[in-house]
Amino acid sequence: MRIKFLVPAKKPGQKRSEEVRLSILAWLIFVGGFCDHTYAEKFLSREVQITVSEVFVPETKKSSGESYVIVNGMFPNSCYTWKGAEVTHKTPKEHEIKVFANVVQMICLMVLVPFSHEVVIGKLESGDHVLRFLNGDGTYFEKYLVIK
């Protein structure tokens, strides 16, 4: 049985420098595409809800401005980056906060990466407010904010 190749056989004394250059160029473009982080973030990332381990809430706040809290936690590895927080106002005095991260599916350092970010709750009316922080595993914890 004879195998036919699509590339014509090399004649004695003939150089295939053009073919070699094109194959090297194609290889560099292929490998370079995986090294570009914007490519990876665009096509290989997904959004996940993350767990918050600690929250700083001011003791009291005046109702004149925006209310905020500082959330702290640990990303499981170096592929996680901060995405943001989603604040849902269930009632005028009860608020749910979910925190999200982008996960890029690449080679990652398997170390815990700390994060600390400000989350704006919004302008709140006077009184005692319940802030419920929802984690990705279905658990939650509550903090209390007093607006004067």
Q: How far apart are CA 32 and CA 40, in angstroms?
A: 11
Could you read off the pLDDT of 45-81 as tens digits, one per residue? 899 999 999 999 987 777 778 899 999 999 999 999 9
Mean pLDDT is highest, among 17-21, 82-86, 123-127, 136-140, for 82-86
DSSP state, residue 21: H
Helix (H) or strand (E) holding 43: helix 37-43
Could you tell me the pTM of the whole model?
0.69
Could you read off the pLDDT of 89-99 as tens digits, one per residue? 999 999 999 99
Q: Name residue, tokens 């996960």.
A: 103
CA proximity to 99, closest of 147, 47, 27: 47
